[in-house]
A and B are shown apart, each in its own frame.
Chain A
Amino acid sequence: MARSTGSSSERPGNPGAVGPTRAYLDYASFAPVDPRVLAVMRPFLEGGAGNPSATHSLGLEARASLDGARAKIARLLGGTPGGVIFTASATEANNLAVKGFAARASGRHIVTSAAEHVSVLNPCRDLEKRGWRVTYVGVDAEGLVDPDAVGRALTADTALVSVHAANLEIGTIQPILEIGRALRQRHVAFHVDGVGAIGRLPLTVDECGIDLLSLSSNDLYGPPGAGALWVRPETKLAPLILGGGQESGFRAGTENLPAVVGMGVAAELARVERGAEVARLAALRDRLFEGLLTGVPEALVTGARGARRLPHHTSVAIPGVKAEAILMELDLRGIAASSGSACSALTGEPSHVLRAIGCDTMAAEGSLCFTAGRWTTAAEVDAVVDVLPAVVTRLRRLASG
């Protein structure tokens, strides 16, 4: 049975492969649920609680558990518990933040960045179709958004600025504190897609001047199928999903109580264990970078390095080979990784993030992303370093005919 804490424990289950997985380095797309989270969720699935809106005692207990989860999540981000709106995903939270805010805003202009997740970009494009103006601020070669560029893009008509806290394709951490500062006294709301960053970085809503913050449960080792949007109390918002008035009317539908309770426990664990875990992950990341950059000729780091980079995130571009081919070869050897973008995996196109950082097409096609997590060991990292150089050499030889 899987034990529960720290680097010494086994990864729960064996996700992502038919055969035994030697190395699971795709935590950004799916993380195993922490067994401690699962243990708390279990009675909620087995009938120990009612509907949080019901008036019987099981309902009242459910309501208390729901509010307990809200409080734990609020504590992680330093905000008011009443501001937490539970959703089914961070994607939904991003949609609610952009479109729900726009529905009540007086301005008709949004400032965002060219490297946002599609769950921010596509709602922005939807607003463009409805007559909104959207400025997509560019990023530098490491994927960084310049706070001054955000400031310069503001007009009297700007209602909302939306910038991700960290990029899950290239690992770059954005200067959210500085952007928040640049927005102060401008009467512009600030939305931050916090996936990847919350629980790993000491980001709090008041310090950074954040009005809307999106979160994912699974990103915190909670169950998939849950997310949240934190909203500052005075911020005006319209719901996207209408019905019975749950979540203070901002998101109708009976709450997914087992998942939400799990997300609360996951948030609490992330807050308590962050310090030690971040240092451990950063050491694994640097070990992987060093191995890849010495072992694979011409491999390039995509995104920022060092303190400006997510601790669990390693991404490289390998010119002359296609990511898809490398990932298949790695999979045959029991290694699960990704190309960083579900979008480009579907279309075979270089992702919008790689285009935004000016990564040339040749290198962008060989973009790889390794994301580590709570159960990643040095042995898993070493497996990648052992296997990848030979895979790349072979594929390059095949490509050159």
Chain B
Amino acid sequence: MGETIDVKIDCLGLFCPMPILKTREAMKTLRSGQVLEMTSDDPASEADVRSWSAKTGNELLEVDRDGAVYRFVIRKTR
């Protein structure tokens, strides 16, 4: 909680692979240590974001869900 968000991206209405693709693209614009917030309502996005974060080594700080909308907070580690 309380993380300063450096960049926000909105992936509402999009489906796999777009939320991960847009997250990956947005991450390229961040410096190491900065934080990205991504919102998505694709039911597959939680599993996708968890596996992408684990694989790339980026730190998944928060996963919230409000109804059908997921909010992911990810810190760039490299």
Contact = CB atoms under 8 A, between A and B. Distances in A.
Given A129-B41, A349-B52, A361-B55, A122 B15 contact: yes
Given A118-B16, A126-B15, A343-B17, A349 B43 contact: no
Nearest to B23: A347
A125 B20 contact: no
A346 interface: yes
Contacts of B48: 349
Contacts of A263: none
Interface string A216-252: 0000000000000000000000000000000000000
15 contacts: A118-B15, A121-B16, A125-B15, A125-B43, A125-B44, A129-B68, A343-B16, A346-B17, A346-B21, A347-B20, A347-B52, A349-B51, A349-B52, A352-B16, A361-B55
Interface residues of B, number: 15
Nearest to B68: A129
A295 B42 CA distance: 42
A128 interface: yes
A108 B69 CA distance: 21
Contacts of B16: 118, 121-122, 125, 343, 352
Contacts of B68: 129
Interface of B: 15-17, 20-21, 24, 41-44, 48, 51-52, 55, 68
Interface residue tally on A, bucketed by range: 10 to 19
A347 B11 CA distance: 15
B24 A347 contact: yes
B21 A347 contact: yes
Contacts of A129: 41, 43, 68
Interface string A118-133: 1001100110110000
Q: Which of A343, A346, A349, A355 has the most CB of B within 10 A?
A: A349
Contacts of B15: 118, 122, 125-126
A349 B42 contact: no
Contacts of B43: 125, 128-129
A349 B19 CA distance: 13
Contacts of A122: 15-16
Contacts of A349: 17, 20, 48, 51-52, 55
Nearest to A124: B43
A352 B20 CA distance: 13
